[in-house]
């Protein structure tokens, strides 16, 4: 519904602008020349061309950001795996420490040692 309202609003604005901008102008494209083109068409054409360029720039930016995000996700996954391995290693060392703590000492104790 919002799209329909927006289209109606833009269409109304364009119809209003077209009433007052019908003066014929000459448009030069390098070596090509278009004579007696209504000014309204030049305005709409430049608006459409500007929107197209901005869309293309936004598209290139979105694609580059998606590649950047993909690389960051791979890096995060690599570091998560590394953290998981280190956590497993810490747990194993804690278990080994507890075993050694509760195991009777096999070394003879020297009562005369400092």
Q: Which helix (H) or strand (E) holds 27?
A: strand 24-29
Residue 8 inside a domain? The answer is: no
Higher pLDDT, 17 or 5: 5
Which pLDDT does position 114 carry in this prediction? 61
What mean pLDDT, rounded, does the chain reach? 89
Does any domain span residue 2? no
Cβ-count burial of 18 within 10 angstroms (0-12 exposed, 13-18 middle, 19+ buried)? middle
Query: Does a structural domain hold residue 62?
Result: yes
DSSP 23: -
pLDDT at 86: 96
Does 57 score more than 90 pLDDT? Answer: yes
b/e code 20-45 from CB counts within 10 Å (16+ = b): eeeeeeeeeeeeeeeeeeebbbeeee
Measured between its terminal Cα atoms, the distance across the chain in Å is: 89
Structural domain boundaries, residue 49: 25-101
Examine residue 52 and state whether it is found in any structural domain, yes or no. yes
User: For the chain, what is the domain count?
Assistant: 1
Q: Which two tokens stand for residue 103?
A: 């195991």
d(CA 46, CA 21): 14
Report yes or no on 93 lying in a domain.
yes
- Is 72 part of any domain? yes
Per residue in 16-27, pLDDT (tens digit) is 888 888 899 999
pLDDT of amino acid 103: 77
Q: What is the pLDDT of residue 22?
A: 86
Say if 17 falls within a structural domain: no
**Model confidence band, residue 107 (pLDDT cutoffs 50, 70, 90):** low
């Amino acid at each position: 519904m919002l799209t329909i309202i927006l289209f109606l609003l833009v269409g109304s604005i364009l119809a209003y602008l077209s009433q007052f901008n019908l003066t014929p102008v000459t448009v030069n494209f390098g070596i090509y020349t278009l004579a007696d083109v209504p000014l309204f068409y030049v305005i709409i054409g430049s608006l459409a061309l500007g929107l197209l360029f901005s869309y293309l720039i936004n598209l290139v930016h979105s694609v580059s950001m998606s590649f950047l995000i993909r690389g960051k996700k791979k890096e995060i996954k690599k570091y998560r795996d590394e953290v998981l391995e280190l956590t497993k290693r810490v747990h194993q060392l804690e278990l080994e420490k507890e075993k050694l703590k509760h195991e009777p000492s096999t070394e003879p104790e020297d009562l005369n040692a400092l």
